[in-house]
Structure 1
Amino acid sequence: MSFLHYVIILPFIFVLLVPFLYKYFNKIHTGWFILTLPIGLFSLLMSYLPTISDGQIIKHDIGWIPSLDIHFSVYLDGLGLLFSLLITGIGSLVVLYSVYYLSKESEKLNTFYTYLLLFMGAMLGVVLSDNIIVLYLFWELTSISSFLLIAYWYKREKSRYGAQKSMLITVFGGLAMLAGFILMYIMSDTFSIREMISQIDTMSTQSLFVPAMLLILLGAFTKSAQFPFHIWLPDAMEAPTPVSAYLHSATMVKAGLYLVARFSPIFAGQGEWFWLVTGFGIVTLFWGSFNAVRQTDLKSILAFSTVSQLGMIMSLLGIGSLSVLANPTENAYFYAVATTAAIFHLINHATFKGALFMMVGIVDHETGTRDIRKLGGLMSLMPITFTIALIGTFSMAGLPPFNGFLSKEMFFTGVKNVTQAEFFNLQTWGILIPVLAWIASIFTFVYSMMIVFKTFTGKHQPEKLQKKAHEAPFGMLIPPIILVSLVIVFGIFPNILTETILLPTVTSILPSVLDGYGVVSEISHWHGWNLELFMTIGVIAIGTLLYLTMKKWKSIYKLFPDRFSFNRFYDRTLVRMEKNSNWIMRKHMTGYTRDYLVYIFSFIIMVLGYVLIKYTTFIWPAEQFLAPIQTYEWILAISTVLAAAAILKASSRLTAIILIGVVGYMVSLFFVIFRAPDLALTQLVVETISVALFLLCFYHLPELRREMRNIRFRITNLLISIGVGVIITFIALSVQGVNGLESISRYFVENSYKKAGGDNIVNVILVDFRGFDTMLEIIVLGIASLGVYSLIKLRLEGRDSIHENK
C-alpha cells in the first residue's frame, strides 16, 4: 500500500480512535489530538511539491474487484496535489479553530470530529482516485458526512432542514453522475480516468459522449451549488462555523469544480461543454452576487458570496476549454489564461473566504448575533477581528494589493478574450459574458463593503446584542490570521505559486495545450492602462456609489418575491411528493396480508405470463425427459392436494395447523422418493419446528373467525390462485422441455470433495460454493431477530412504566 493510500485511509482510522480519545482523555479537548492528522498529512503532501513541480506524476494501484475492473487506484498530479493541500491545510486551521469555538463541556466533540474526519477522508478519496467507481463512492460519502455535519445541531429545525436539502440535491446529482460514469465505461471499456483520456479520439465520436457529459456536469453543478441548484448552500449555513469554513469555502463545494477540471482533458473542445460550463458559471456568478446584497445575516451574505465565486471559477474553466480548439496555435495561451485564473482564484478564494467565515464565527461567538442590522461599531472593541475582515473583504472585492485583485484582473482578461473567439459565434453573443461578469463584480464589491463596514463601523448598539462584545481568545484568532497572511503574501508575491502550483495544475487540466506553449506567465499588479484596469476602476466607482445609496435602490428586490423563488419551488415540490407518496402508501399498504399477496402474485402472473405468451417460451417436455408416474406417487399427490384444500374448510385453528403439517410432511416424502434425503430431512425439521411453534403460540392466537366476503373477493382469490398455479406449472414444464445447456450438477458432483473437502454436495453448495448467500441470509435473519427482540423489549418496558405510573 502506497503513501497515497495511507493519506486517504488515515482519517478513517482516526475515526475509530475518536470515541476512545473523547472518553479516556476527557480533560483535554479532543481537537488537539485530531489536529495532528491534517498537519501531518499536509506536511507529507508538501514534501512531494518539488516532485510534482518537475512534471512527474505519482500513481499506485491496489486490486479491489479485478473481475469488474474496479481498483483502488490513486493518482497524484498537480490538480490532485492542489486539492489535497487545500483539504489538509484548511482542515488543520479549521480543527484548531474548532478547539476554541466548540466547548468540550456543552458539545459532543466525539460526534463532531467523527463527522469531520469522515468528510476529510472522503474528500481526499475524491481528489486522489483514478477509478471513477471509487471516486463515486467517496463522492457520495462527502454528501453523507456533510449532511451529518450540517445537522450537527440536530435539535434546531433549520439545521435539519438545511442538511436534508443539501443531501437531496447533491445525492440526486451524484446519481446522475454515476449514470454518466457508466456511459463512459461503455464507451471506453475502462473505469480509469487516465485511460479514458488516452481514448479521447474514439470516445468523442460516439453517440453516448454528450449524454455522459451532461450527466457528469449535473453532478458537478449540484455539488458546487451552480444555478439553479445553489439553493442548498445558504441553508447549509446552519452548521457550526468551523463546518462552514471547511465545507462551504474550501472543500466540498469545490468538489464540483474539481470534477469539471479533472474531466476537461476529455470534454474540453466540445461546444456543449463550453456553453454549459461557461453559461451556468456566469449566471451563477451574477445571481449569487445579486442576491448576496439583499441578505442581512453575515453567514447568508457569505453563502451567496460563495455561490457567486464558485460560478466565477466555473465560468473560467469553461472559457479555458477554448484553448483546446485553438491548439496548436499561439492563440491557445490566449484562452488558457482563463484556466490559470480559475486555479489561482480557487486558491485565493480558499484563503480569504475561509478567513471571513472564521471572522463571522468570532463575531457571532462574542456578540451572540450575525444580523448586520444589530451590529456596528465593533472596530474599537474587536480590532484584530476587524483587521481580518478588512483584508478578507477587500481581497474578495478585488482591491489591490491583495491576491483577490490579481485573480480578478485575470478573470477580466479571460472573459474579455471570449469576445475575440472565432468559435460558436462568440464574436456576436460573447459580449454577454464580460458584461454579466462586470455587473456581478459590482455587486461583489457592494456586499464586501457591507460585511466590513456595517459590522465594524457606525454606531455601536450594545442593547441589541446578546453578549457584551469583546475580542476573541487568541487561539481562535490564529487560524484566520494565518489565512489573511496568505492573502497578503500571495498578493505581494504571487509568483511563488506559478511554478510550484499553477503550472502543474494547469498542465493536468489542459495537457494537450502545453505542447510547445506555456499557459502560465508571470503574475503582476501592473499591466498598463488596459481594459481590465478600467473595468476594475468602474467596479470600484459604481460599487461605491451603489453602497452609499443602497436605501434608494434596494427596493428592486421586491420584484423577486419569495413565493416565486427556487426555494419555494423546492419546498412545494417536496410537500407535493410527500403527499403523493402518502396517498400511494395508503392505497396499497392496507395492513392486510391478503392484499399484499394479491399485489405480488398479480405481478408474477402478468410479467411471467406475458413472457410465456409474447416469446412463446412454453415448451412441452419431450417424452425422454418425462419419468413414468407410479401409483403411490399419485396417491401422495392427491393426498397433498386434499390436505391443502381442507385447510380452507377447517373449522378450528388447531385443525388448520395439523393440515399444514400434513402438507409439509407429504412434500418431504416426495423428496425421499426422488432420492434427496438431505432435502427431506430439512423439510421434516422445518415442518416439525413450524408446527411446534404454532402449537406453542396457540394459546395466544385470536379466535378463528370466518369473515364473509363478497363474491368479488372470492373470485379474485380464485383467479389469482389458479393463475399462479398454472404459470408455475408451465414454467416448470418449460424448464424440463429445454436441454440447451449442460447441467451444472455435474460440476458440483466432481468438485465438491476435491475443492471443498465435503461428501455432502448440498451442504458444500450452501457453505462453500454459495457461502456468501448463506452468510447474508444468516445476517438478515439475525437482524430480523434483533428487531423482534427489540420490539418485544420495548413493549414490555412500556407496560412496566404504565403499571408504575398507576
Structure 2
Amino acid sequence: MFIAVLLPLLFACLVPLLSKWKNAIHTGWFVLLIPSAIFVYLVRFVGQDFSPIRNTYPWIPSLNIQLDFYLDGLSLLFGLLISGIGALVVFYSIYYLHKSEQLGHFYVYLLMFMAAMFGVVFSDNIFVLYTFWELTSLSSFLLIGYWNHRKGSRYGALKSMLITVFGGLSLLGAFVLLSVVADTTSIQAMLDQKEMILNSPLFGWIVAFLFLGAFTKSAQFPFHIWLPDAMEAPTPVSAYLHSATMVKAGIFLIARFSILLSQTEWYFFVVTGIGLITLCWGSFMAVRQTDLKGILAYSTISQLGMIMAMLGFGTKIALFAAIFHILNHATFKGSLFMVAGIVDHETGTRDIRKLGGLMTWMPITATLALFGTFSMAGVPLPILNGFYSKELFFDSAIHLDSFSGWIEALKMAAPYLAVLGSIFTFVYSMYLFFGTFRGKANVEELPKKPHEAPIGMLIPPIILVALVVIIGLFPNLFAESFLNHAASAVKGAEIEKHVKFWHGFKTPLYMSLAVVGLGTLLYLTRHKWTGIYRVFPGSLTFNRVYDWMVDRSEKYSSVITNSYMNGSIRRYVRLTLAAMTIGTFIFLFTTNGLSFTGTSTAEITLPELFIVAMMIFAAVATIFTNNRIAAILILGVVGYGLAILFVMYRAPDLALTQLIIETVTVALFLLVFMHLPELRKRTESVGTKLTNAIISIGFGAMITLVGISSFNSKWFDPISDYFLETSKELGGGKNVVNVILVDMRGLDTLFEIAVLGIAALAIFGLVKIRRNDKEAK
C-alpha cells in the first residue's frame, strides 16, 4: 500500500519536466500510467478471502507515530475507486484540457490529491491519516482554483478550504483525545478497545469532533454549501473529487470508525438524521438548478446523504447497501459529470435553459446520459445498478433496530423521508436528461454548433456506463468478490449478501413504484410548483450565512490587526516583550518551575559585584545619553563587562567569542556612524514611560528567574554529562565546546554558517544596488 501513496508523489516531481514536451505529447499520457498501474496492483486482491494486510515503516517513534498502512475489504474498495476512476479521469482530461493549459500544474495537483486519498484510506495510524486528510483539502483547493483567473474558481476554492479545514481541525481534536484515551495511535488497536473508549468521559467530545470532520468533508447538511461552488473546477476534477474520492472521504471515516461509534443510540440519531436531511434537501435543491454541474452537485449531496443514512442504520443489510451504493454512485455519477463536460465542451454552455434536443446531434452522449440518469433515479430495470442499491436502501429503512424514547420517532420517519428524497431524486434525474437531450432544440442560441464529442472523450464515460450495466446484470459477481468483504470490515462481523432483482410484491417494491409514479407526476408539472423556491428557501440560504461570517471575520480581524500593526517598531517590541514576559511567568508559576536553591552556585566575590554594578550603570546610562558616540561606547562597556565575567568563571571560549562579537559590533556602529539617526529626547507621557519601565524591568526579571531556575532545576539528567563522557571518544577532541559545535551538532553549525553567508550576500546586493542607483543619478 505504501507504493500506492508514494508513487503519485514521486511522479508529481517529474511532471514539470514532462510537461515541457506537451506540444509533442499530452502530459496526461505519462500521468495515466500511475493510476493504471496501481489499479492493476489492487485488482489482484479482488475475489480473494485474504486476511487484512499491514505494512509498517518507522517515522516518529518517539511520538508512537509510524507509517502504518492497512488493507482490508473497505480500503480495497476505496483504493479501486481512487485508482480506477482516477485512470479514467486522466484519460478524459487528455481530450478535455488543451495543450495550451498549464498542464504541469494540473497534473501535479491531481497526483497530490490521488496520493492523499490513498493515504486516507490505507492509513492505520490516526495522525498519518490526519496528515493525508489535510493534504486532500490542500490539493483540492488547488484543483478547484485551477482556473484562478476566474472569480468563481477562487471563491469556490477558498470556500471548500475554509469549511473542510475547519472540519479537519475538529478531526485532529478527536484523534488527539482518542490517542490519550486508548494510549495508542493505531485505528485497529482502538477498535479493539472500544469498551474502554465508550466508558471514557471524553467519548462525547470524541464523537462530536469526529462527526464534524466527516460531515464537512462529505458535504452533509449544513456544511454542503461548499460543494456546488466547487463546480467551478474543470470537469475532470469534478468527476474525480465529487463522485468517487474527496466527498467520499467523510463516508470512509464514518465507515471505518462505525464499529466504535455505532455502540450508542446517539450514533443512529445523528448520522441517520443528518443523512436523511441531506438526502431530502440536496434532492429538493437540485431541481432548482439551471447549470448541469449544479444539478449534479446537489445530486451528489443527496446521494452522499443517502449513503450516510444507511451507515447510520447500522444493520447488516444497510451497511451492505451503503457499500454497494458507494460503488454504484461512482459509476453513474462519474459518467454523468463527464457527459456534462462533453455538453459544455461541444456546445459552449451548461445552462439547461439554453439546451434541449441534443440527442439529434449527440446521440452517443445522450445514450450515456440515459443510462446514467435512469440508474441514478433508481428506475426498476435489471440492467441499472442504481435500482439495486436504492431498493436495498428502502428495505433497510423499514427494518431498523428497535430504539427507545424520542429516537424511535426518527426510526418511524426514516422510510417516509427515504421515499421523499428519492422522489426528488427521480425528478432531477428526469429534468437533467430530458431537459438536455429531448424537447425543442435551440441551436441558434448556443455559443457553438453542437456535435458529437471525439472518441477519446467518450471512452471513459462509455466504460463507466458499461460498468453500470454489468453491475446491474451481474451484481453478485461484485458482491461476492469484494463488496461483502468491505461491508464485513465496516460491521466488524461477516456479511454475506446475495443480491436479487425480484423480491416479490413487498414494501420496497411499492416504495420504488411510488417514487416513479409521484416523481413522474412532479416532473411533468414542474413548471407549476417550482415557484415554491421563491418562498422556501427564498433568500434565506446557508450561503448567505457563510458569506456574512467570512465578511465579519475579515472586518473584525482587520480592526484588531490595525490596532497594533501600525508601523511602529517600538510598539512591536513592546508587545513582543510583554507577551513573552507574561506568558513565561504564567508558565513558571503554574508548573512550579521557579527554583532558588543556592547549594550548587559559585560564591559571589567583591570584584564580580563591582563588574556587575558597572554593567548595570552602563546599561542605564544608555537610556539617558543623547550623544551617539557615547551611547556606542557605553553599550560596549556592557559587552566587555560580560566577557570579563566569563573569564572570571573560567569560560575562556565564551569570553573570546564575546570579545570578538563586541569588538565587531562597536566597529560596525562606528563605520555607519554618519548614517545613524540623531538621538533626541522624546516627549512621552508618564503612562508611556511607566509602561516601558514595567516591561523592561519585568523582561529582565523574567530572564534572570528563568536562568536561575533552569540552573537549579533537576527535572532531567543534564545532557552535559553525555557530552563530557563522549566528546573524546566520538569527536576525538578534549575541548568539549569545539566537539559539540563541529561534530555533535555539526549540521546545525553548518546551517548557521549558511545563514550568515546568505545574510552577507543579501547585504552585498543591497549595497551594490544603492551604489548603482547613485551612479545612475
CA 1:552–1:726 in structure 2 vs 1: closer, same or farther (change >3 Å)? same
Q: Name the aligned partner's letter for residue 437 of structure 2.
A: F
Rounded Cα–Cα distance in structure 2 between residues aligned with 1:383 and 1:471: 7
2:664 to 689, 700, 703: 689
CA shift in 2, pair 1:455/1:775, >3 Å: farther
More displaced 10-residue stretch of structure 1: 472-481 or 590-599:
590-599
CA–CA distance in 2 between the matches of 1:293 and 1:793? 66
Match of 2:63 in 1: 68
| TM-superposition CA deviations, 1:227-260 (whole Å, max 9, x none) | 1111110110000000000001111100111111
Aligned to 2:422: 441
Counterpart for residue 350 of structure 2: 370
State the shift of 1:70 in Å: 1.0
Alignment counterpart, residue 437 of structure 2, candidates 435, 456, 468: 456
Q: 2:154 is matched with which residue: 148, 154, 160?
A: 160
Deviation at 1:721, TM superposition (A): 2.2
User: Unpaired runs of 5+ in structure 1?
Assistant: 321-334
Secondary structure class of the residue paired with 1:430: helix
Aligned partner letter, 1:35: L
Contact 1:337 1:520 in 2 (8 A): no
Q: Residue 767 and residue 590 in structure 1: after superposition, are their counterparts in 2 closer, same or farther (change >3 A)? A: farther
1:593 aligns with 2:569: yes
Map 1:545-560 → 2, pairs under 5 A: 545-560=521-536
Partner in structure 1 of residue 340 of structure 2: 360
Residue in structure 1 matched with residue 397 of structure 2 by the alignment:
415
Which residue number in structure 1 is paired with residue 544 of structure 2?
Answer: 568
Corresponding position of 1:325 = none
1:704 Cα deviation from its structure 2 partner: 3.6
Per-residue deviation, 1:196? 1.4
Task: Please tell me whether the aligned partners of residues 307 and 326 of structure 2 are also in contact (alpha carbons under 8 angstroms).
Answer: yes
Pick from 288, 307, 317 the counterpart of residue 313 of structure 1: 307
Partner residue, 1:32: 29
Distance 1:630 1:306, change over 3 A: same
Q: Distance in 2 between matches of 1:36 and 1:68?
A: 36
Unpaired stretches in structure 2, ≥5 consecutive residues: none
CA–CA separation in structure 2 for the residues paired with 1:643 and 1:628: 21
Structure 1 residues 55-454: aligned runs within 5 Å: 55-104=50-99, 106-320=100-314, 335-399=315-379, 400-401=381-382, 402-418=384-400, 421-422=402-403, 427-454=408-435
Shift of residue 417 of structure 1?
1.1
Q: Does 1:747 align with 2:722?
A: yes
1:796–1:312 distance in 2 versus 1, CA, 3 Å: farther
**1:297 offset after TM fit, Å?**
0.6
After TM superposition, the structure 1 stretch with the greater mean CA deviation from structure 2, 547-556 or 141-150, is 547-556
Q: SS of the residue aligned with 1:389? A: helix
The alignment partner of 2:259 has SS state of helix
- Cα shift at 1:620: 4.9
Give CA deviations for 1:320-352 in whole Å, capped at 9, x if unaligned: 2xxxxxxxxxxxxxx310001001111000000
- Check the 8 A contact 1:621/1:736 in 2, yes or no: no
Name the CA distance, whole Å, in 2 between partners of 1:311 and 1:663: 70
Q: Decide which of 644, 647, 664 is 1:669's aligned counterpart.
A: 644
* Equivalent pair of 1:70/1:131 in contact (CA under 8 Å): yes
Q: Could you tell me how far apart the structure 2 residues matched to 1:779 and 1:225 are?
A: 47
Q: 1:534 to 1:739 in 2, by over 3 A?
A: closer
The one-letter code matched in structure 2 to 1:522 is H
Match of 1:725 among 700, 705, 708: 700
- 8 Å Cα contact 2:273-2:410 kept in structure 1: no
In 1: Cα distance, 2:505 partner to 2:426 partner: 21
Spell out, residue by residue over 1:118-166, the C-alpha distance to the aligned partner (whole angstroms, 9 max, x if none): 1111111111111111111111111111110001001111101111111
Instruction: Give the letter for the 2:146 counterpart.
Output: Y
User: Contact 1:162–1:232 at 8 Å: present in 2 too?
Assistant: yes
Corresponding residue number in structure 2 for 1:477: 458
Deviation at 1:606, TM superposition (A): 3.6
Q: Is 1:659 aligned to residue 659 of structure 2?
A: no
Secondary structure of the residue that 2:505 maps to in structure 1?
coil
Label 1:712 to 1:486 Cα distance change in 2 as closer, same or farther (>3 A).
same
Q: Structure 1 residues 593, 551: CA separation in 2 closer, same or farther (over 3 Å shift)?
A: same
The answer (yes or no) to whether the contact 1:562–1:568 under 8 Å persists in 2 is: no
Cα 1:253–1:756 change in 2 (3 A) is farther
Deviation at 1:469, TM superposition (A): 0.9
Change over 3 Å in CA distance of 1:707–1:220 after alignment to 2: same
Provide the C-alpha distance between the structure 2 equivalents of 1:741 and 1:103, rounded to a whole number of angstroms.
63
Distance, in Å, in 2 between the alignment partners of 1:245 and 1:193 is 30
* Alignment partner, residue 476 of structure 2: 495
Distance 2:504 2:349 in 1: 44
Cα displacement (A) at 1:751: 2.1
| 1:536 maps to 2:530 | no
How many Å separate the matches in 1 of 2:92 and 2:406?
50
2:346–2:453 Cα contact (<8 Å) kept: yes
Task: Give, in whole Å, the separation in 1 of the partners of 2:347 and 2:716.
Answer: 78
Question: What CA distance in whole angstroms lies between the structure 2 residues aligned with 1:794 and 1:92?
Answer: 52
How many correspondences in the alignment? 774
Partners of 1:742 and 1:493 in 2: how far apart? 68
Q: In 2, distance between residues paired with 1:615 and 1:361?
A: 61
- CA–CA distance in structure 1, aligned partners of residues 344 and 406 of structure 2: 49
Q: How large is the RMSD of aligned CA atoms in angstroms? A: 2.6
Residue 328 of structure 1 corresponds to none
Q: What's the counterpart of residue 624 of structure 2? A: 649
Measured after TM superposition, the shift of residue 626 of structure 1 is 4.5
Structure 2 contact 153–232 (Cα < 8 Å) conserved:
yes
C-alpha distance in structure 2 between counterparts of 1:559 and 1:783, whole Å? 64
Q: 1 CA distance for matches of 2:439 and 2:143?
A: 35
Task: Provide the TM-score with structure 1 as the length reference.
Answer: 0.91
Deviates more, 1:85-94 or 1:56-65: 56-65
SS at match of 1:417: coil
Structure 2 CA distance for aligned equivalents of residues 793 and 484 of structure 1: 66
Equivalent residue for 2:38?
41
- What is the alpha-carbon distance in structure 1 between the residues aligned to residue 169 and residue 7 of structure 2? 27
**1:597 deviation in Å?**
2.5
1:332 corresponds in structure 2 to none
* Post-superposition offset of 1:501: 1.4
Q: Equivalent residue of 1:342, what SS?
A: helix
Distance 1:538 1:15 in 2: 50
Deviation at 1:611, TM superposition (A): 6.3
Q: Pick closer, same or farther for the CA change 1:88–1:423 going to 2, 3 Å.
A: farther
CA distance in 2, matches of 1:78, 1:607: 50
Paired with 2:769 and 2:551, the residues of 1 have a C-alpha distance of 32
Equivalent of residue 713 in structure 1, options 657, 674, 688: 688
Query: Whole-Å Cα distance in 2 between the matches of residues 74 and 608 of structure 1?
Result: 41
For 2:19, the equivalent position in structure 1 comes to 22
Q: Deviations over 1:610-669 (max 9, x none)?
A: 5677788656544773503133x2332233223222222332334323332332222122
- Can you list the C-alpha shifts for 1:29-65, whole angstroms capped at 9, x where unaligned? 0001111111111111101223xx3142221111222
How far does the alpha carbon of each residue in 1:534-576 deviate from its partner, in whole angstroms, 9 at most, with x for none? Answer: 1111111111111111121111111235642111111111111
TM-score, with length taken from structure 2: 0.94
Which whole-Å CA distance do the structure 1 matches of 2:289 and 2:165 have between them? Answer: 27
The corresponding residue for 2:10 is 13
Instruction: Give the conservation status (yes or no) of the 8 Å contact 2:320–2:497.
Output: no
Structure 2 residue aligned with 1:584? 560
Code of the residue aligned with 1:239 in structure 2: it is A
Matched residue SS, 2:399? helix
> Secondary structure at 1:431's aligned position in 2?
helix
